[in-house]
Structure 1
């Protein structure tokens, strides 16, 4: 799935990409995509990366790190013009999630094509045979998740001894997911004298181990503080009664525009998506229990506008870059402040504005206060009920609800089955996708309150 890239115009300087050394062939592609001026992280890191230096770049999510390393990698590969060899990529970009690998490759594709460079992705959850065939055909830039790449290396289908440039993107998240031992084994198989670029929002102990072990005299560029919130992002904490959480959530997500709703657990994401669909919200889910085909299909539905709400675990905080996300809702407040910042970073990207809402019940007051304090966020806290006028300010526009898909069933389903996504007599499952049924407009209060039920917040973190 290729997400449309935002028009990149705001920059802290008057430099152009040409001024930084980006070749004309890439500048034409950037201009066609509306990327006019470099962001600070790009302006800071590109000169050193293009000069062949090892670079450690730190910037908050949404700061433009992807273009920063892609332009450097492609420019340097085109300059050396080393021929492709079977099973031996010339550049390696390691990322923590399948979605991030796919989207980096989609951003890179037109740039690589302009330089006649070949790219491919490797990750788990899909058949290995097409990946093996692609490796054997020869590839210039390989975007890979550590686990599946390690399998190919062990099987002898991939060799890393010809890698000229290695990029570690979202290095701190790879540390959180336990990838560091595998990443270390992979990096040890790349040439010692190769260039290495590491990009991360934070520099935790695990990331620092990689820096000291694999980067040689790196140039450090820290454009944004670890706790630097986005200026165009507004933060709100809605103090609600537990019985009102779902009704408030429906009011927010029934508004026009894209919204990403975060839960702590995979089962929580699945359950909440079914309830939202039953309530008339066009929603899809994204979490680790889905097969890759379902994850791709749901992301495409969200990106294409068939569904306006994506319900996700923290995997999406690092794994997706969808334009024009107006609203992020923490239905379950995250455990760590880093997760709060990465989740929130799905909105207000590339200079756009966005709103972040955290739903907080009485029992969650201390943890949410500590969460926002550590995140360096000045959030406005409001106690409210469904139908409050503030909900229309946070998510403006007319609320619309869509009748949920009707399962193929031989008999009627009772109200409890419908609300919980139960199966009909033939075993048909309700789908968590946008419906083609007619849309109906409803007053915010009546539409949400009609589907109010006690929400069951997640109790553990780290659902993938």
Structure 2
């Protein structure tokens, strides 16, 4: 596809030998400097589709202090970290420095990374705006800009911030916009900021993925808690979605009490807590993540074959984004939605609007064989699981200068644990 030999060598080292469709389609045009409009569901390979050309076209240049050369905007902290992790070995191969700036982490460290000269910056809109307002970052040298998960940035209300950031980027640079869906707000961004873009829409929406099954389980309201516990006790990873962070916390606590290794993941958790839970889930130390819509697109974990909508979503896009946590990269998976009698009408409309034709089953109690067949549900151990307590923070020296008066939330500075030094 025209990638530099050093990046091809790193791909081979990572055992990546065949491109996904979105990569095969987008990489040559991106390498040629064309503006790209790409549609593909999560797990389709979008990160390398934009990341490899971005690195190839930036290689050989060096950023000045506070002035990155390439910018990747993403909606969530988890996605920012995953994009950085995915691209870091390739950036290292072409001698480019990466930095990640997101809310919930020390802004002083992020400002220092920019002062040291970050060539490629991966950022969430809010934190990047904060750093620009502080004078710690300027976008006047950015030559390549990527918007990843543009539709979620729109859904989360980030469009005004994104628009303000894009207006600070030189207009003659390259722009790439990738999204799972191309709705009206994404079209507006495209018209305003992309110049004669090449459209690559090579991956079906989540509703059309042939390896993904959709199931509606009609249950009695009084059976719901016991059903959820048995599903959570299955073998293998499962992600369960609820509408609110309080409901997610409550369910995670109930699952732990029933003998299931679970943790809640939502916007009310600190970044350290969210990262710790995701890492434990990936490693198999946790078998259940209990998440909200806010966290839906930040969960990029392979080998998740079941997603459970404990609370059915109200928006079809939320349904598709939740379902995108399974059946990733050609693997198979199931999305199960629990429906009590009062939710039947709304859920039927949701499926129609999402373009989904689900299998419907009536489940008569927690021990119904149909529940076990579809979800792998089984009896929990009943032995309570004690979550690992975070280690206490070590005392920190008092901050001085600007850091003493600024904090990520605008209030008093927080004390933070020192990071352990790593061997070179």
Q: SS of the residue aligned with 2:329?
A: coil
Cα shift at 1:346: 0.3
Runs of at least 5 residues in structure 1 that lack an aligned partner in the other structure: 1-19, 407-430, 435-464
CA distance in 2, matches of 1:239, 1:396: 17
Contact kept, 8 Å, 2:371 with 2:377, in 1: the verdict is no
Runs of at least 5 residues in structure 2 that lack an aligned partner in the other structure: 391-424
User: In the alignment, what sits opposite 2:132?
Assistant: 153
- Show the 5 A alignment for 1:17-36: 20-36=1-17
2:65 to 86, 94, 113: 86
2:381 matches 1:401: yes
Cα shift at 1:180: 0.6
2:36 to 55, 64, 78: 55
Contact kept, 8 Å, 1:112 with 1:118, in 2: the verdict is yes
Contact kept, 8 Å, 1:97 with 1:319, in 2: the verdict is yes
CA distance in 2, matches of 1:161, 1:353: 44
Q: SS of the residue aligned with 1:276?
A: helix
Cα shift at 1:214: 0.7
CA distance in 2, matches of 1:172, 1:346: 16
2:405 matches 1:389: no
CA distance in 1, matches of 2:51, 2:173: 16
User: In the alignment, what sits opposite 1:234?
Assistant: 213
Contact kept, 8 Å, 2:233 with 2:377, in 1: the verdict is no
2:163 matches 1:184: yes
Q: SS of the residue aligned with 1:199?
A: strand
Q: SS of the residue aligned with 1:401?
A: coil
2:145 matches 1:166: yes
User: In the alignment, what sits opposite 1:306?
Assistant: 285
- CA spacing shift, 1:55–1:106, aligned 2, 3 Å: same
Deviations 1:95-121 (A, max 9, x none): 000000001101111111111111111
2:88 to 93, 109, 116: 109
2:39 matches 1:76: no
Contact kept, 8 Å, 2:40 with 2:203, in 1: the verdict is yes
1:124 to 82, 95, 103: 103
Tell me how many residue pairs correspond in the alignment: 389
Cα shift at 1:252: 1.4
Considering only aligned residues, what root-mean-square deviation do their CA atoms show, in Å? 1.7
CA distance in 1, matches of 2:80, 2:291: 17
2:25 matches 1:44: yes
Q: SS of the residue aligned with 1:350?
A: helix
Contact kept, 8 Å, 1:316 with 1:343, in 2: the verdict is no
Contact kept, 8 Å, 1:274 with 1:432, in 2: the verdict is no
Cα shift at 1:371: 1.2
Residues 215-224 or 173-182, more deviating: 215-224
TM-score (norm 1): 0.81
User: In the alignment, what sits opposite 2:238?
Assistant: 259
Residues 366-375 or 28-37, more deviating: 28-37
Cα shift at 1:402: 6.2
User: In the alignment, what sits opposite 1:424?
Assistant: none
2:333 matches 1:354: yes
